[in-house]
Structures are given as structure tokens and as C-alpha cells.
Amino acid sequence: MRNFVGTLIVTITCIVSVYSLKCMHCESSKDLTCTGEFKDCSHSDETCSTYYYVERKGKDNVATWVIKGCKKNQECTKGPAYLSNPNVTVALGVACCTTNSCAIPENLFPATKTPNNLTCTSCFSTSVLQCETKVEVKCNDNENICGRLLIDSVGSVDERWSMRGCATKEFCSHQIYTPGSFNLQLLEKECTDSSSIHKLSIVIFIVALLRTMLF
């Protein structure tokens, strides 16, 4: 009986070790790097991940968020999602791996762009939360959707702006995460196809008072 119990314990331990993946958990709203404590993932369908978010004006990154931890495999993205206009470009995605060092894709912002046949209204505003415009901009590459993004946040990082422009389909289906250092935030995302007939609205209201890290 003792041998059976001992064998059972060893078997359970081996099963747990197979499904137990340790990933680094950290976050930063300063740059695209962070280090933190290694923790076990909770479920067998999770993997290590690096969530990244970058706002770029011209050739400068003006805001970045990075969050490392465990995420379900279906939340991983094959590449970055984009929303852009002549004023600012937003890139975001979730890079996954099993090595605790999930790399953010290189050449996040391509040097050259190829125009397509889509045009979208374009605006960027830091003074109001709704930028309305009749100005149109030509879209490029796989930017096949018109998009709008609104951010209103206070905390260690104070950002308040809205924009309209050309978006990739991945942007419209992607969930936007934010670092736990943000105390209050409101995110609204809206996408419209090129014909402006079918409209998909995704409104995300996140109001959280966080005193600790997300992970």
C-alpha cells in the first residue's frame, strides 16, 4: 500500500511539473523592457507572453507599455496590430513563447509603406476626448479598416487623447491591456469597414483602482 501511495505521489508530481510553466511577471510604462519575479502559470493552456503597446510620432516612441506574464495560447498574436494617421501610429500585440524571453517583433514600424485603395477620416487630439474631422488620409499595406481610439487615464502616466485613422483588422479584434500602475482609465475602440455601412463597435470601460501589480 505504501509503495502504491508513493508511486501515486510521484506520478502526480510529474504531471504537475509537466504542466507547470514558470514565466516572468512584470510591467512597465517607461519602455519596452522589464524584469520581475518568476511565477507558475495557472493553467496547462497558458504560455509565457509579452504584451507590448507603442505610440509613435514621427520616428520617436512617445509612449510604451509592456506586460510580461502568463496568457492563454489563443490570446497570442502572430504580429502587431496597427492604427495610424499622419500624426501618430499605435502598434500593439502579444508575443508568446516558452522560454521566458518572448521577443517583441523587430522592425515594429516598417520603413516603407504601399498605399491601398482605402481612405479613412484622420484626426488626433489631446484637448478633447472626441476628435471629429472630415479630413481623409490614404491607408497603406494591410490597413483595411477605419479605426478610432480614445484613451483617458490618470495615475503614474497621465494620458488623454483620441485619434482616427487607418487600422488593421487585428487592431479591431485585439484586446488592449494596460499596466497596473494606471489608477483610472477609459478605453474606447471603434472600427468601420471601408464602405462605412457595416459598423463594429467595441467599447471597453475599465475603471480600476489598483495598488498592486496586475501579476
117-128 tens-digit pLDDT: 999 999 998 876
Assigned domain for 18 exists: no
- Rounded to an integer, the average pLDDT of 16-27 is 75
Assigned domain for 30 exists = yes
Q: Report pLDDT for 91.
A: 94
Is 157 inside a domain boundary? yes
How confident is the model over 44-91, as pLDDT tens digits? 899 999 999 999 998 899 888 899 999 999 889 888 999 999 989 999
Question: Is residue 10 a part of any domain in this protein?
Answer: no
Residue 205's pLDDT band (cuts 50, 70, 90) = very low
Residue 161: which domain range? 23-204
Is the model's pTM score more than 0.85?
no
Handedness of CA 205, 62, 214, 167 (dihedral sign): positive
Give how many domains the chain has, as a whole number: 1
Residue at 214 is within a domain: no
